């Protein structure tokens, strides 16, 4: 019986580092994961607690649960209005960005002309420039562009949501065009050839062939873009000067003043603001992750 | 002024040889009149948007940095002043050098601490292990949050009177307010998000590494560490560069987080917040702000070029 165990001990595996037991790895990863979740969990936890209770017992305590903070945050922070503003900015910005990026990518991949690669570079680089460095001319330009009264109470493009939508589109076009053109390259040319022989115009090829085939990257990009535009802070903050026009992300800055002394209320406000992106993230995680890594890895 | 007709106008037909090289592409010349118009519009509209709202402002920022425009008079009254704005920014504007230091420290911390942590976690998670999905989700969850919101979430920890950190440590430090600590507090909050982002990028990169390469190395007797540094890491060179560029550019344009904390004052000055303060605030010093904007553009363009070189090289290979 003892002879059976012998070979194992005589032949230790050569040139192999002893592997730390799996359990160490798991303990480490659990600790990291919980640490990473903690700030969000802490905000959620305290958002459900009564201010008077935490004021008396301190925040490191348990009890005083209520949903009152959410009701108060919603009304005091005017969340209905700001959520609506976010919708008004995000939905058109994402739809137009994806449509224009698809147009651009379609032409870049389907037709050969001298500036193919240059144009792609011009688009992609635009995505990486620091927005603050472009602020002065954009700000001045928007202030100088007159707008009809019914579209803008300031009479200019500055301080309108249309202006914010336009800037968002311009900044996101590069990334989307790049990702879409990479995908469109994988569409076999024969499909287009036969369509052309059948007399399909470029418009029909684009709408009936390319766009339906590009559903996967469009879904990934849409998920990502909704998150990004919803999260966009800088342009909305500087281009919209009136608080009632701010989307959620920019309005947070005003909440800080109002909720200054009540951190439970601040927590509830933060949780409300993160709710849309968290829902998108958990519902469409695969899309989100593939979108985020599409630009970086490709293929 | 803004139009770049050679780019925005209808695409020029390619020379005959180009068509032969790329059999998948159709040459523009073969198009009907209507199709040609459609194609031109499809290129012109997005191109115009990008040129007018990104490239023209970038060039205008550089141009304005050499002028004395105060933002009030007409553009015709603008005079060139040479490098005066640059001299003023560097010698006569106290927050400028601290801001440069803060940006550099920001970059250093992201690059030396947060990026390696993200990479390390990616290597650990790029295996068939239990709960891998949970670990990954937990670590990249902060990536979906805006940095403005992250500022708020961390305020609940950093606040002097009601924050968790002081309650646990028994201190009374104003982590966001005290100039001795607030930059570090902001860096922890940013790093929290950056680690997740880097991990995500590397996980995607590691998946793309050919499994047979690793097996071959392992059969040759390489241990895990050797396999990573000698085989996996070199293969991931493009992604290393992309992570580097993302880190540099995000550090350069760091803005949202410090803006929600205190609008970038009192120890949290960054170049991006100084530019914004000089334009949006009461004192709009256009030439002055533009000089700092040009500085930002200059640094970022170096890394944009590196990024484009890598990406376009791969593009050409296809």
Nearest to residue A43, comparing CAs of B63, B113, B34, B162? Answer: B162
Q: Distance between terminal CA atoms of chain B?
A: 36
Q: What angle do CA B144, B147, B149 make, to 5 degrees?
A: 85
Q: What is the mean pLDDT of residues A86-106?
A: 96
In this complex, the residue of B47, B53, B137 whose CB is nearest that of residue A166 is B53
Concatenate the DSSP letters of all residues of A27-46 into one string: HHHHHHHHHHHHHHHHHHHH
**What is the C-alpha to C-alpha distance for residues A235 and A238, in angstroms, rounded to an integer?**
5
For residue A154, count CB atoms less than 10 angstroms from its CB and return exposed for 0-12, middle for 13-18, buried for 19 or more: middle
pLDDT at B228: 80
A66 confidence band (pLDDT: 50, 70, 90): confident
Q: Do B12 and A113 lie within an 8 Å CB cutoff?
A: yes
Q: What is the mean pLDDT of residues A15-42?
A: 83
A187-192's contacts with Cβ under 8 Å and 24+ in sequence apart are A187/A109, A187/A213, A188/B24, A189/B23, A189/B24, A189/B25, A192/A110, A192/B26
Which residues in chain A are contacts of B46 at CB distance < 8 A? Answer: 100-101, 103-104, 123, 173, 177
Nearest to residue B247, comparing CAs of B207, B296, B190? Answer: B190
In this complex, the residue of B38, B145, B293 whose CB is nearest that of residue A132 is B293
Q: Do B58 and A129 lie within an 8 Å CB cutoff?
A: yes
In this complex, the residue of A42, A125, A203 whose CB is nearest that of residue B156 is A42
Whether the predicted pLDDT of A4 surpasses 70? no
Smallest CA–CA distance, residue A6 to chain B, in Å, is: 24
Beta-bridge partner residues of B67? B80
Q: Do A277 and B19 lie within an 8 Å CB cutoff?
A: no
8-state DSSP, B26: E
Smallest CA–CA distance, residue A1 to chain B, in Å, is: 33
Q: pLDDT tens string for chain B (318 positions)? A: 222 222 222 333 333 333 334 445 666 667 788 888 999 999 999 999 999 999 999 999 999 899 887 766 666 777 788 888 898 888 888 899 999 999 999 999 999 999 999 999 998 888 778 888 899 999 989 999 999 999 989 988 998 888 888 888 888 888 888 889 999 999 999 999 999 999 988 888 887 777 788 788 888 888 878 888 888 888 777 788 888 888 998 898 889 999 988 888 888 999 999 988 887 766 678 888 899 999 999 988 998 898 888 877 877 765
Locate B273 and state its tokens. Answer: 């917040």
In this complex, the residue of B38, B125, B300 whose CB is nearest that of residue A130 is B300
Q: Distance between terminal CA atoms of chain A?
A: 55
Q: How far is CA B175 from the centre of its chain?
A: 26
Which residues in chain B are contacts of A138 at CB distance < 8 A? Answer: 53, 57
Q: What is the mean pLDDT of chain A?
A: 84
Which residues in chain B are contacts of A185 at CB distance < 8 A? Answer: 24, 318
pLDDT at B29: 62
pLDDT digits (tens, 9 = 90+) for A188-200: 888 888 888 888 8
Smallest CA–CA distance, residue B224 to chain A, in Å, is: 8
Which residues in chain B are contacts of A299 at CB distance < 8 A? Answer: 208
Q: Beta A111-112 vs B26-27: how paired, if at all?
A: parallel
pLDDT at B164: 87
Number of C-alpha atoms within 13 angstroms, CB side, residue B234?
7
Whether the predicted pLDDT of A62 surpasses 90? no
Whether the predicted pLDDT of A261 surpasses 80? no
Mutation for testing the A interface, residue in B140, B156, B284 having most A CBs under 10 Å: B156
Whole-angstrom Cα Rg for chain A: 26
pLDDT digits (tens, 9 = 90+) for A104-155: 999 998 887 777 888 888 888 888 899 999 998 998 889 888 888 777 777 8
Q: What is the pTM of this model?
A: 0.85
* CA atoms A59, A60, A64, A66: torsion sign: positive
Q: Do A32 and B297 lie within an 8 Å CB cutoff?
A: no
Q: What is the dihedral of CA A205, A207, A209, A214, to 10 degrees?
A: 130
Number of C-alpha atoms within 13 angstroms, CB side, residue B283?
8
Smallest CA–CA distance, residue B16 to chain A, in Å, is: 10
Q: Do B142 and A40 lie within an 8 Å CB cutoff?
A: yes
**What is the C-alpha to C-alpha distance for residues B77 and A3, in angstroms, rounded to an integer?**
99
pLDDT at B168: 85
In this complex, the residue of A111, A130, A133 whose CB is nearest that of residue B25 is A111
Looking at A205-245, which runs of residues are DSSP E strands?
Answer: none
A285 confidence band (pLDDT: 50, 70, 90): confident
pLDDT digits (tens, 9 = 90+) for B117-173: 999 999 888 877 888 889 999 998 999 999 999 998 998 899 888 888 888 888 888
Q: Do B53 and A170 lie within an 8 Å CB cutoff?
A: yes
A3 confidence band (pLDDT: 50, 70, 90): very low
Which residues in chain B are contacts of A125 at CB distance < 8 A? Answer: 304, 308
In this complex, the residue of B144, B224, B279 whose CB is nearest that of residue A136 is B279
Whether the predicted pLDDT of A295 surpasses 60? no
Smallest CA–CA distance, residue A140 to chain B, in Å, is: 8
Phi (first) and psi of residue A112, to 5 degrees: -95, 125
Which residues in chain A are contacts of B14 at CB distance < 8 A? Answer: 112-114
Predicted ipTM? 0.83
Q: Do B279 and A135 contact (CB within 8 A), yes or no?
A: yes
A and B: number of Cβ contacts within 8 A: 331
**What is the C-alpha to C-alpha distance for residues B278 and B42, in angstroms, rounded to an integer?**
38
**What is the C-alpha to C-alpha distance for residues A36 and A39, in angstroms, rounded to an integer?**
7
Which residue of A lies nearest to B307 if distances are taken between CA atoms? A125
Place of tokens 């290597």: B123
Higher-pLDDT residue of A60 and A47 is A47
**What is the C-alpha to C-alpha distance for residues B134 and B145, in angstroms, rounded to an integer?**
18
Q: Do B156 and A135 lie within an 8 Å CB cutoff?
A: no
pLDDT at A259: 61
């Amino acid at each position: 019986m003892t002879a059976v165990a012998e070979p194992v001990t005589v032949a230790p595996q050569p040139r192999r580092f002893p592997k730390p037991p799996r359990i160490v790895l798991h303990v480490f990863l659990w600790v990291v994961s919980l640490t990473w979740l903690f700030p969000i969990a802490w905000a959620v936890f305290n958002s459900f607690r009564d201010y008077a209770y935490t004021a008396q017992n301190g925040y490191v305590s348990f009890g005083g649960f209520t949903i009152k903070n959410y009701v108060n945050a919603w009304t005091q922070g005017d969340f209905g209005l700001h959520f609506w503003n976010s919708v008004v900015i995000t939905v058109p910005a994402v739809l137009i960005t994806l449509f224009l990026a698809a147009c651009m990518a379609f032409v870049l991949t389907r037709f050969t002309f001298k500036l193919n690669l240059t144009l792609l570079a011009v688009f992609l680089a635009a995505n990486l420039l620091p927005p603050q460095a472009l602020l002065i001319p954009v700000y001045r330009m928007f202030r100088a562009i007159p707008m009809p009264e019914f579209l803008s109470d300031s009479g200019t493009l500055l301080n309108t949501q249309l202006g914010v939508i336009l800037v968002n589109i311009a900044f996101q076009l590069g990334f989307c065009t790049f990702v879409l053109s990479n995908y469109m390259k994988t569409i076999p040319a024969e499909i287009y050839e036969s369509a052309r022989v059948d007399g399909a115009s470029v418009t029909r090829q684009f709408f009936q062939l390319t766009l339906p085939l590009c559903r996967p990257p469009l879904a990934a990009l849409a998920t990502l873009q909704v998150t990004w535009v919803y999260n966009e802070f800088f342009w909305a903050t500087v281009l919209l000067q009136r608080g009632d026009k701010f989307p959620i992300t920019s309005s947070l800055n005003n909440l800080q003043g109002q909720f200054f002394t009540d951190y439970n209320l601040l927590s509830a406000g933060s949780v409300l603001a993160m709710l849309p992106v968290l829902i998108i993230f958990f519902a469409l995680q695969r899309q989100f992750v593939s979108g985020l890594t599409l630009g970086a890895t490709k293929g | 002024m803004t139009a770049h007709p050679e780019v925005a106008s209808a695409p020029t037909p390619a020379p005959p040889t180009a068509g032969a090289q790329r059999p998948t592409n159709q040459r523009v010349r073969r198009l009907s009149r209507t199709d040609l118009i459609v194609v031109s519009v499809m290129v012109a509209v997005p191109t115009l948007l990008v040129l007018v709202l990104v490239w023209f402002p970038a060039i205008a920022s550089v141009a304005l940095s050499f002028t004395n425009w105060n933002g009030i008079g007409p553009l015709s009254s603008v005079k060139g002043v040479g490098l005066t704005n640059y001299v003023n920014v560097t010698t006569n504007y106290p927050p400028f050098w601290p801001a440069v230091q803060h940006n550099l420290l920001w970059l250093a911390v992201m690059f030396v601490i947060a990026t390696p942590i993200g990479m390390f976690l990616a290597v650990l998670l790029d295996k068939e292990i239990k709960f891998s999905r949970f670990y990954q989700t937990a670590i990249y969850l902060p990536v979906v949050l805006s940095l403005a919101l992250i500022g708020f979430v961390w305020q609940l920890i950093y606040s002097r009177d009601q924050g968790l950190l002081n309650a646990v440590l028994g201190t009374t430090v104003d982590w966001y307010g005290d100039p001795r600590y607030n930059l570090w507090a902001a860096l922890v909050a940013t790093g929290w998000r950056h680690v997740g982002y880097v991990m995500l990028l590397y996980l995607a990169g590691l998946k793309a590494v050919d499994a047979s390469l690793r097996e071959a190395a392992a059969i040759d007797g390489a241990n895990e560490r050797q396999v990573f540094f000698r085989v996996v890491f070199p293969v991931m060179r493009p992604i290393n560069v992309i992570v580097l560029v993302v880190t540099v550019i995000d550090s350069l344009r760091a803005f949202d987080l410090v803006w929600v904390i205190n609008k970038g004052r009192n120890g949290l000055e960054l170049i991006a917040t100084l530019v914004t303060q000089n334009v949006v605030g009461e004192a709009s010093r256009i030439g002055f702000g533009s000089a700092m904007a040009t500085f930002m553009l200059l640094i970022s363009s170096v890394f944009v070029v590196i990024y484009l070189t890598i990406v376009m090289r791969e593009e050409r290979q296809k």
